[in-house]
Amino acid sequence: MGKKDVPGIGEYGGPAGGWGALQAVAKAIRGQMAVDHSVIMLQVNQPQGFDCPGCAWPDPREHSSFEFCENGAKAVSWEATNKRVTPAFFAEHTVSELWEWDDFKLEFEGRLTHPMVYDAATDKYVPIAWDEAFRRIGQILRELPDANMAEFYASGRASNEAAFLYQLFAREYGTNNFPDCSNMCHEATSVGLPQSIGVGKGTVTLDDFYACDAIFSFGHNPGTNHPRMMATLRAAALRGAPVVVFNPLKERSLERFKSPQSAIEMTVGKAVPIATHYYQPKVGGDCGVVKGIMKALLAADAAAVAAGGAGLLDRDFIRDHTSGYAALQADLDGTSWEEILEVSGLSREQIEEAAAVYAKAERVIVCYGMGITQHRHGTSNVQQLANLLLLRGNMGREGAGICPLRGHSNVQGDRTVGITEIPTGGFLDALERVYGFQAPREHGHGAVAAIEAMRDGRSKALICLGGNLPVAMSDPDVCFEAIRGLALNVNIATKLNRSHLLVGQNSFLLPCLGRTELDVQATGPQSVTVEDSMSMVHASRGSLPPASPELKSEPAIVAGIARATLPQSQVPWESYIEDYSRIRDAIEQVFPDFARYNERIGQPRGFRLDVPASRREWRTDTGRANFLVADAGQRPLARPEVKDALVLATVRSHDQYNTTIYGKNDRYRGITGRRDVIFVNGDDLAERGLQHGDIVDVEAVAEGDDARRVLRQVVAVAFDISRGSVAAYYPEANGLVALSNIDGRSGTPSYKSVPVVLRKAAGEARDLSVERV
The Cα–Cα gap between 388 and 196 comes to: 11
**Peptide bond between residue 640 and the one before it cis (omega within 30 degrees of 0):** no
380 binds, among Mo ion, ligand MGD, none (CB under 5 to 8 A by kind): none
Please report, as a single letter, which amino acid is at residue 598: N
Q: Min. distance of Cβ 230 from ligand MGD in angstroms? A: 12
Cβ–Cβ < 8 Å for 111, 511: yes
Cα dihedral 721/727/729/735 (nearest 10)? 180
176 binds, among Mo ion, ligand MGD, none (CB under 5 to 8 A by kind): none
Q: Indicate which single residue of 38, 468, 527, 529 sits in contact with ligand MGD (rule: CB under 6 A).
A: 468
404 binds, among ligand MGD, Mo ion, none (CB under 5 to 8 A by kind): none
Q: Indicate which single residue of 734, 741, 746, 750 sits in contact with ligand MGD (rule: CB under 6 A).
A: 734
Q: Min. distance of Cβ 70 from Mo ion in angstroms? A: 19
Looking only at residues 585 through 614 of this chain, which bind Mo ion when binding is defined by CB under 5 A? none
Cβ–Cβ < 8 Å for 157, 541: no
Q: Indicate which single residue of 407, 444, 446, 724 sits in contact with Mo ion (rule: CB under 5 A).
A: 407
Q: Which stretch binds ligand MGD (CB under 6 A): 120-128, 281-289, 307-315, 389-397?
A: 281-289
- Tell me, residue by residue from 359 to 398, as one string, x for binding to Mo ion by CB under 5 A and - for no binding: ----------------------------------------
Q: Which stretch binds Mo ion (CB under 5 A): 323-331, 407-415, 495-503, 522-530?
A: 407-415
Q: Which is nearer to ligand MGD, 163 or 431 (CB)?
A: 163
Q: Does 657 bind ligand MGD (CB under 6 A)?
A: yes
Q: Indicate which single residue of 190, 614, 656, 750 sits in contact with ligand MGD (rule: CB under 6 A).
A: 656
435 binds, among Mo ion, ligand MGD, none (CB under 5 to 8 A by kind): none
Q: Which stretch binds Mo ion (CB under 5 A): 182-190, 211-219, 301-309, 510-518?
A: 182-190
C-alpha distance from residue 168 to each of 162, 432, 441, 552, 576 (Å): 10, 10, 14, 19, 12
Q: Does 371 bind ligand MGD (CB under 6 A)?
A: yes
Q: Which is nearer to ligand MGD, 313 or 736 (CB)?
A: 736
The Cα–Cα gap between 247 and 224 comes to: 14
Task: Say how many CA atoms lie within 13 Å of 474 toward its Cβ.
Answer: 30
Q: Are strands 116-119 and 124-127 parallel, antiparallel or unpaired?
A: antiparallel
Q: How many other CB atoms are there within 10 angstroms of residue 161's CB atom?
A: 29
Q: Which is nearer to ligand MGD, 108 or 437 (CB)?
A: 108
Cβ–Cβ < 8 Å for 243, 217: yes
Q: Does 321 bind ligand MGD (CB under 6 A)?
A: no
649 binds, among Mo ion, ligand MGD, none (CB under 5 to 8 A by kind): ligand MGD
Cβ–Cβ < 8 Å for 72, 57: no
The Cα–Cα gap between 361 and 367 comes to: 16
Q: Which stretch binds ligand MGD (CB under 6 A): 4-12, 453-461, 508-516, 587-595?
A: 508-516
Cα dihedral 736/737/740/742 (nearest 10)? 160
Q: Does 467 bind ligand MGD (CB under 6 A)?
A: yes
Q: Min. distance of Cβ 386 from ligand MGD in angstroms? A: 16
Q: Which stretch binds ligand MGD (CB under 6 A): 178-186, 602-610, 619-627, 664-672?
A: 178-186
Q: Min. distance of Cβ 619 from ligand MGD in angstroms? A: 25
Please report, as a single letter, which amino acid is at residue 454: M
C-alpha distance from residue 459 to each of 135, 354, 521, 564, 620 (Å): 21, 49, 35, 21, 34
C-alpha distance from residue 62 to each of 47, 178, 231, 604, 631 (Å): 10, 37, 13, 10, 44
Q: Which is nearer to ligand MGD, 141 or 290 (CB)?
A: 290
CA-based nearest residue to 490, from 460, 516, 519: 460
Q: Min. distance of Cβ 58 from Mo ion in angstroms? A: 17
Cβ–Cβ < 8 Å for 407, 659: no
Q: Indicate which single residue of 71, 205, 350, 665 sits in contact with ligand MGD (rule: CB under 6 A).
A: 71
Q: Min. distance of Cβ 232 from Mo ion in angstroms? A: 20
155 binds, among Mo ion, ligand MGD, none (CB under 5 to 8 A by kind): ligand MGD
Q: Which stretch binds ligand MGD (CB under 6 A): 24-32, 120-128, 491-499, 521-529?
A: 491-499
Contacts of 252 (CB under 8 A, 6+ apart): 12, 14, 15, 16, 223, 668, 669
Cβ–Cβ < 8 Å for 335, 270: no
Cβ–Cβ < 8 Å for 43, 543: yes
Q: Which stretch binds ligand MGD (CB under 6 A): 30-38, 646-654, 710-718, 757-765?
A: 646-654
The Cα–Cα gap between 261 and 264 comes to: 9
275 binds, among ligand MGD, Mo ion, none (CB under 5 to 8 A by kind): none
CA-based nearest residue to 359, from 413, 321, 304: 304
Q: Indicate which single residue of 206, 244, 651, 711 sits in contact with ligand MGD (rule: CB under 6 A).
A: 651
CA-based nearest residue to 116, from 564, 516, 555, 503: 503
Phi, psi of 102 (to 5 degrees): -85, 170
54 binds, among Mo ion, ligand MGD, none (CB under 5 to 8 A by kind): ligand MGD
The Cα–Cα gap between 590 and 587 comes to: 5
Q: Indicate which single residue of 248, 378, 418, 504 sits in contact with ligand MGD (rule: CB under 6 A).
A: 248
224 binds, among Mo ion, ligand MGD, none (CB under 5 to 8 A by kind): ligand MGD
The Cα–Cα gap between 95 and 500 comes to: 9
Q: Min. distance of Cβ 69 from Mo ion in angstroms? A: 18
Cβ–Cβ < 8 Å for 199, 619: yes
Contacts of 256 (CB under 8 A, 6+ apart): 15, 16, 271, 272, 273, 274
Phi-psi region of 558 (alpha: psi -120 to 50; beta: other; left: phi over 0): alpha
Helix ranges (DSSP H) in 473-619:
476-484, 554-565, 573-578, 580-590, 597-600
Q: Which stretch binds ligand MGD (CB under 6 A): 131-139, 259-267, 462-470, 600-608?
A: 462-470
Q: Indicate which single residue of 20, 54, 202, 446 sits in contact with ligand MGD (rule: CB under 6 A).
A: 54
538 binds, among Mo ion, ligand MGD, none (CB under 5 to 8 A by kind): none
C-alpha distance from residue 617 to each of 157, 188, 608 (Å): 30, 21, 16
Q: Indicate which single residue of 161, 213, 286, 314 sits in contact with ligand MGD (rule: CB under 6 A).
A: 286
Q: Which stretch binds ligand MGD (CB under 6 A): 91-99, 132-140, 366-374, 694-702?
A: 366-374
667-680 CB burial, b ≥16 within 10 A, e <16: bbbbbeebbbbbbb
Q: Min. distance of Cβ 126 from ligand MGD in angstroms? A: 19
Q: Which is nearer to Mo ion, 185 or 243 (CB)?
A: 185
Q: Which is nearer to Mo ion, 176 or 183 (CB)?
A: 183
Looking only at residues 210 through 239 of this chain, which bind ligand MGD when binding is defined by CB under 6 A? 218-221, 224-225
394 binds, among ligand MGD, Mo ion, none (CB under 5 to 8 A by kind): none
Cβ–Cβ < 8 Å for 735, 296: no
Q: Does 185 bind Mo ion (CB under 5 A)?
A: yes
Looking only at residues 546 through 565 of this chain, which bind ligand MGD when binding is defined by CB under 6 A? 554
Give the footprint of ligand MGD on this chain (CB under 6 A). Answer: 54-55, 71, 107, 155, 157, 181, 184-185, 218-221, 224-225, 246-249, 251, 283-284, 286, 369-371, 374, 405, 407-408, 465-469, 472, 492-495, 497, 512, 514-515, 554, 649-652, 656-660, 730-731, 734, 737, 751-752
Give the footprint of Mo ion on this chain (CB under 5 A). Answer: 185, 407
